[in-house]
A and B are shown apart, each in its own frame.
Chain A
Amino acid sequence: MTSDTARLDGIRFAPPPVSHFSRPPQRIDLRVGIGDSGLTGEASAGGKTLGLPLFWYDPPWHLASPERCRLVADFVGACGVMIGGVARDITTAAEGLDDVTWPRLVAHRCDRAGWTLEDAQAATAIELRLGISRTATGGLEYSREQFSRWASRWGRQEEGRPTEAEEGEPEKTLPLPLVFPPEWADLSQMRTKVAQLRALSDAAVLVSCDEASLDEVLPAAVQAGADGLIVRIAADPVEALLRYRSIVATLDGSARPAIWLAGGEWDAEQAVKCFALGATAISLDAVCNRWLLGIDDPEFSPAQQAAIKLGGRIGKTREELLGDQIRERLDSLGDAIAGIMRSLMVGELSQLGPQHVLVADGSSADQRGVAGLPESR
């Protein structure tokens, strides 16, 4: 845990009630529903579901080979994690990702970078990404590698000069103020865009924005009938979640759009606290990116290395070991989340709420809108 998550770490889990006997739930359901209009995050038979409340938001696909991308994506996706990426990011195969079964999140950026209709139609969810980053010199944030992945769509771009980021150190990017798709005059046009995406695809539509734009975007997303909101946060999610709660409280009707948190690095405890404060899913980018980039690749033992040199094989291949590593890590994370939920006597994620967390400082409890010590005593 880092000081970046100090506010989240300051929150504690509420002890189970002692006034009456509570039986722990027999089964913990970590599934998350997506695609139901007016999402509550509940898994439902009608909508699509994720096996885990986790997603890999913005993998740096361009930094790994297509073979590596597909390998890691298959392993991570098989665990029930939704993965962000267009087909051209992940594979060079002519058939694209037609054969994948794992849930996929496809980004519809303001500048349509990498976006194809075929991807949208095959996606589990479409991310209507608001906001764009530019480099310190004003260039686009995409690197030459990213451009080349999308080259067959942007043919002239590949042949011409790169728009940004020549070889060498990538430039730092600067987030700009909220940027709409260019055809919008204001956020009220989000409704037409969401309707268009729904007409083109059966995928759920999630609007994404930076934390700073939450106040503007959330009401517009509700008005537009989006299935949820992905909020890109720098580190501590408490502020964003509390603002989300306060905005949702002012909305008419029972609309409670799902909020997905992108950014940060979470352990199971922090994840459950986020779910209790209203998050539907959290991103795992920090962990998954390491697998993609081979930072945590399993090492062979000296005996295995010697056997490989002699042309033999002892035990599993490197790919199999990586698959085991990914499964083990994600399973243990899921188990840890389930264990905490069991200790809170909660069987489903949608049953988690602010009543399950406490803050030590009673005065700030009101500000935070979560159960504080004075009420809980």
Chain B
Amino acid sequence: MSSVSGSSDFVLSFDELSEPKIRTRIASIALGGSHQHTPASGAPPLIQIDGASGQPHALMAIRSAVRLHVTGSLGDYSLSYCSRCDVRVDGHGGHGVGECLSGAAIRFRGNAGHAAGVGMLGGTLAIYGSAGDRLGAAMSAGELFVRGDVGGDAGVSMRGGTIVIGGDAGPRLGEALGTGTIYLRGRAESLADGMVEVGLRKRDELRLGMLLINASIRGAAKEFRRVIPESLWRTEESRHHGEVRPSWR
């Protein structure tokens, strides 16, 4: 994730514009339809969003290459169906934030409610606080990071993708029917049926290390363990030389 910092190129406020108008204005800015300043660096325009506190289903379906900086906590289903954008939220998120995300990078500096990242199809959702129950439910691709603790049933109905949990997890962690991977640093109250907790392989350490750096999560990859379906683990174990040993020369 690239950093969203410095002064904003544009400022939009929910106090002055309705939600559809904000979306239209963002699309217009991305297309260069505004006469205001456009960054010379070639980076997507940085748009400050004000007055978003408590807005339910705010900033949905943003599918333009823009950087958004949102101040305040967002309501349920905010930032759903987004792609291509880079969003930083200085606040919390409600239930179902980042629903069906595909290709966007979103960071919440606070906590998130239930089922953050539900149905994710790609992209990155990072929550720097804690998250509620059913984190990443039904996600099929993408990466989901939580720096703190998560509630119960994290990863339920997960079909693919990666969840990284920096703290502890509630009961029934994981989904044995999917192919997703969960990296857990703390303790899980219990695992879902058919899930096992195993150590990291070398390639997992490399991959997780990169993911942690990108998500600005402190800590070493080796502090984490993998939670994967038992069937997947057995498949791995049955391969005599399943470990990929890349040749660095």
Residues of A within 8 A of B (CB): 110-113, 115, 117, 138-140, 153-157, 160-161, 163-164, 181-185, 189, 192-193, 195-196, 199-200
Contact = CB atoms under 8 A, between A and B. Distances in A.
A29 B75 CA distance: 44
Contacts of A110: 138
A156 B141 contact: yes
Contacts of B153: 182
B138 A182 contact: yes
Query: SS class of chain B's interface: helix, strand, loop or mixed?
Result: loop
Contacts of A189: 76, 95
A346 to B, nearest CB: 41
Nearest to B23: A199
Interface residues of B, number: 38
Nearest to B114: A183
B157 A182 contact: yes
B66 to A, nearest CB: 18
Given A140-B177, A195-B56, A153 B140 contact: yes
Contact of A155 (B141, B156, B177): B141
A156 B80 CA distance: 21
B115 interface: yes
A157 B113 CA distance: 27
Interface in B219-233: 231
Nearest to A162: B177
A111 B157 contact: yes
Contacts of A185: 95, 114, 133
B175 to A, nearest CB: 9
Given A163-B178, A196-B60, 8 more contacts: A113-B138, A117-B100, A138-B177, A155-B141, A156-B159, A163-B177, A185-B114, A196-B80
Given A117-B61, A156-B159, A196-B57, A111 B179 contact: no
Contacts of B138: 110-113, 182
Nearest to B175: A163
Query: SS class of chain A's interface: helix, strand, loop or mixed?
Result: loop
B157 A164 contact: no
A275 to B, nearest CB: 35
A63 B140 CA distance: 24
13 contacts: A138-B177, A140-B177, A154-B121, A154-B141, A156-B159, A156-B179, A157-B140, A157-B159, A161-B231, A163-B159, A183-B99, A183-B134, A200-B60
Nearest to A155: B141
Contacts of A164: 177
Query: By CB atoms of chain A within 10 A, which of B140, B193, B231 has the most?
Result: B140
B9 interface: no
Contact of B115 (A155, A157, A183): A183
Nearest to A164: B177
Contacts of B96: 181, 183
Nearest to B158: A111
A154 B56 contact: no
B46 interface: no
B19 interface: yes
